[in-house]
Amino acid sequence: MMLGSAKAIGIDLGTSGVRAAALNERGEVLASTKAPYRSLEKIRDAGAWWTGVKECLTHLRLLCSFDDVLGVAVDGTSGTVVAVDSDNRPVGLPSLYNDVCDDGKVLSALNAIAPRDSAARGITTPLGRAIVLSRRLGVSAVVHQADWIAMLLGEGTPIGDENNALKTGYSLEDEIWPEWLEDVGMRRSMLPQIVRAGEIISPVGRAARDLGLPASAKIHAGTTDGCASFLATGAKGVGEAVTALGSTLVLKIACDRPISVPEFGVYSHRVGNLWLAGGASNTGGAVITSLVSESRLDELSGRMDPTSSTGLHYYPLLKPGERFPINDPYHLPKIEPRPSDDAVYLQAIFEGIAAIECMGYQRLSSLGGPSLKNIRTVGGGAKNMVWRTIRQQNLGVPLLAPDSDEAATGVARLVLRNWIN
């Protein structure tokens, strides 16, 4: 039985596979589906991205009607870029969001020429990796992951969104690819045209129509996976924040103006009339599972008294080095002394990460961000109620339940913003 008529479809290109969500005119999720990559290596196979998109849309069409779909938007991992030829076919493997730019001359040029506050700096620079990709034989353009899928679903013109383009050197202030990109070796003519997130970029193309989308539907500019996840939660006002408790700790807060402080890894994405400013710590769930067996987390949590502090003041890290809220490549982990009771030990780790989260929001405020109003939490750590209690005591603001933790839902909401007030 059909679950209703979809108005917007969002597609999320994640690290483990592709997800898609169909929303009605009220922004409610009618149906969602996923297509996991068949192996870990497939994340580096652009063809696997497209296969996953087709599988998701084919399945989604069985769950709800596509007849009234107004538009489709795609989000991708921030910093993943792919080189394509004149027929939009990938030339070699894509360069992933966490790949390192291995060209020392490119990195040196970026350090010398790129503005100090540019998000394109750093050893994993998408701009630097795009320059390297652009040199491959037969390359016509270098586009972002979300751009490429939107091109295949649309009319094939390289058009992208400013959120994905930020780390590739795009100027949000001037809304152009700046001239200095040429000086570091990137031909601007090889980069996609950029528009704001959510804008209509083309009618659907033949491939999308073959997958059941109506000819009247439009392809919208998407966003990054992080921005899409923020939008999915329902956070939308200045001072509203989202904490991602995944393998690392990632904070984002909605602001009325941009914040860019590269030394702390803080930069801002524009979505509508808001700026999403955030930072990422090296602490998080990966530290917990490296120190305490995952199978014991529930049992140990059940023996804690979160209202009584351990007083151990840990700074949990896997190895030396922190980027936010402290910028210190040599910052030492503090996970000692270790109590004899593993429940007390785990509680001290929870307390340490909660303290870092609190420090992170204080840092964003000190850098010009708004006062914190409330927080929605996504990621695996959001399920632990003891940790939630500890965080609530530290943060002192309401912890709200997210509408959704699916990025596909968030990017679909970008579509609705253009059509339904």
* Residue 148, pLDDT score: 98
245 and 164 both lie in a single domain: no
Q: Are residues 211 and 274 in the same domain?
A: no
Q: Is residue 2 part of a domain?
A: no
Q: What pLDDT does 265 receive? A: 86
Residue 281 sits in which domain range? Answer: 236-400
| Residue 325 in domain | yes
Split into its structural domains, the chain has a count of: 2
Q: Are residues 356 and 381 in the same domain?
A: yes
CA distance 416 to 345: 46
Give domain status of residue 292, yes or no: yes
Looking at the structure, tell me whether residues 155 and 289 fall in a common domain. no
Instruction: Please tell me whether residues 165 and 192 are part of one structural domain.
Output: yes
Q: What is the pLDDT of residue 419?
A: 79
Full-model pTM: 0.92
pLDDT by position in tens, the chain (length 421): 567 899 999 999 998 999 999 999 999 999 999 999 999 889 999 999 999 999 999 999 999 999 999 999 999 999 999 999 999 999 999 999 989 999 999 999 999 999 998 999 989 999 999 999 999 999 999 999 999 999 999 999 999 999 999 999 999 999 999 999 999 999 999 999 999 999 999 999 999 999 999 999 999 999 999 999 999 999 999 999 999 998 899 999 999 999 989 888 899 999 989 999 999 999 999 999 999 988 999 999 999 999 999 999 999 999 999 999 999 989 999 999 999 999 999 999 999 999 999 999 999 999 999 999 999 999 889 999 999 999 999 999 999 999 999 999 999 999 998 877 5
Answer whether residue 296 is part of any domain.
yes
- CATH number for position 120: 3.30.420.40
Residues 193 and 332 both lie in one domain: no
- pLDDT the model gives residue 15: 87
Are 29 and 148 within one domain? Answer: yes
Q: Are residues 245 and 393 in the same domain?
A: yes
Same-domain check for residues 19 and 97: yes
* Locus of tokens 């083309």: 202
Same domain flag for 21 and 160: yes
pLDDT of residue 247: 86
